Every structure is written in C-alpha cells, then in structure tokens.
Amino acid sequence: MEKGEAKSKKAGGARLCCICNERRPVLKRPKTLQQICRECFYDVFEEEIHQVIIKNRLFKSGERVAIGASGGKDSTVLAYVLSELNRRHGYGLDLFLLSIDEGITGYRDDSLETVKRNELQYGLPLQILSYKDLYGWTMDDIVKMIGLKNNCTFCGVFRRQALDRGAALLKVDKLVTGHNADDIAETVLLNILRGDIASHTYAYFKKLDYFSTECIYSPNAYRGFAREFIKDLERLRF
C-alpha cells in the first residue's frame, strides 16, 4: 500500500493519520478530505508548494525575489516556507523582505515589529517603505481628509504601488505576496457583487511569529461584508 494512499486505522479506538498511520490527526483537509497529523501537514503543505514552483517554473537560479511582508500570518508563512524551500532544494534565490508602512497609528507600528523579528529569524534583508516618504502623507492623514468611507480602496491602491516602487528600488526580478483560500473566495464574491465577473492553520501549528490584529479602518471596508457572508456560510455547512 502506498504511503500517501494509506487509510486511517484505529488503535485503541483512536483514529490515526491517514498518511503516517502513527499519530492522531489534528485536521481534515477540505481539498482532499484527508485526516492528517500536524507533522504530515507540514510535509504535505511544503511539498505542494515546492511542486507548484517546479511545475510552473516560477523562479530561476540567481533571481532576486522580494517577499511582500506585512507581519500577518499569510506573508509570514510565505517568508518562512520560501526561505526554507530555497535552502532545502537549492533554488539559488536571493530573497528579501519588503514591507510598507501606511502610517496607521496603533496598527502598522506593531506589525512591523513582527517583520523585524522575521528578518532576524529567517536571515532575510528587510526594506521598509512608508507612505510618508513615497507620497508625502500617511494613511491617517488620508482618513482625516476623506473620512472612514472607502478609505480601504485608497490604501489598497497606494500599497500595491508602494510594493512596485519597493521592488524597483531593490532591483528585484520578482515580487511575491501571500494569500489564502478565503482571500480568493472573498475576491470572487466581491467581483460578483460589483458586476465584475471576469476580473491560518500552518502558521498556528508552526508557531510562527506573526501579527494578527485587523486594521483599525477595515470594519468599514466593503470586503468585510463578503468576509462575514462567507464565514456565515461556513458555519451553516460545518
């Protein structure tokens, strides 16, 4: 029987991981319905990312790659996994952390402290660019002018441009950002609601150091309605 095809067995009434058949499962993967243990989740998660990188030829040896680092779980997982796979499989990439300081008092200051710790933990150089330096004003300044409505739209556009400018400053070949399945679902739903049809387990288990507080302006963002709707559907389903 293939290791990956091994079925869960019961020992003393306890179900075992369907991959190693040694440890108790801690999660059921929605994509495969596999019930697997923490250690096997690490292996499967990292190997799937490696296969995507190899199959799609995402990188070439010697390339300079900037990792968009916000301090949140998605970008923290991306930074950790990419640096680990780069070392393990010898991709030959020159990796950097690129962070954007929007100038949101009581929010971005704390998350950047996490990114600075990531810099030391993963041994990756860090470049921080601020709205103040790039545009002459902070996100707090913008909110004072326009109010709380639609401010996330402004921030999103400015942040993407700031990442592009940072990538140009670092003279990198590629810029990578971290996203999860909820992000994709929310974006698809938002596009439908707008009529524009065409347009946190790993970090927890690995005990990665990341910043998890929502932006103080995000409760008024349109995406928040899509997020809550999706979570309501999940509660009904599971």
Torsion angle (degrees, nearest 10) of CA 157, 226, 217, 183: -60
Whether 68 has a binding-site annotation, put simply, is yes
Whether 74 has a binding-site annotation, put simply, is yes
**Amino acid at residue number 49:** I
Whether 128 has a binding-site annotation, put simply, is no
Structure tokens at 195: 């009529």
Whether 111 has a binding-site annotation, put simply, is no
> What is the number of other CB atoms lying within 10 angstroms of the CB of residue 127?
17
80: Cβ contacts below 8 Å, ≥ 6 apart: 118, 122, 206, 208
Are 66 and 174 in contact by the 8 Å Cβ rule? The answer is yes
Whether 109 has a binding-site annotation, put simply, is no
Torsion angle (degrees, nearest 10) of CA 56, 60, 63, 65: 20
Q: Write down the residue that tokens 């860090």 correspond to.
A: 126
**Using CA of residue 101, residue 215, residue 229, residue 48, what is the dihedral sign?**
positive
Q: Is 209 exposed, middle or buried (0-12, 13-18, 19+ CB in 10 A)?
A: middle
Which residues are part of a known binding site? 68-70, 74, 100, 178, 183
Which residues are part of a known binding site for ATP? 68-70, 74, 100, 178, 183
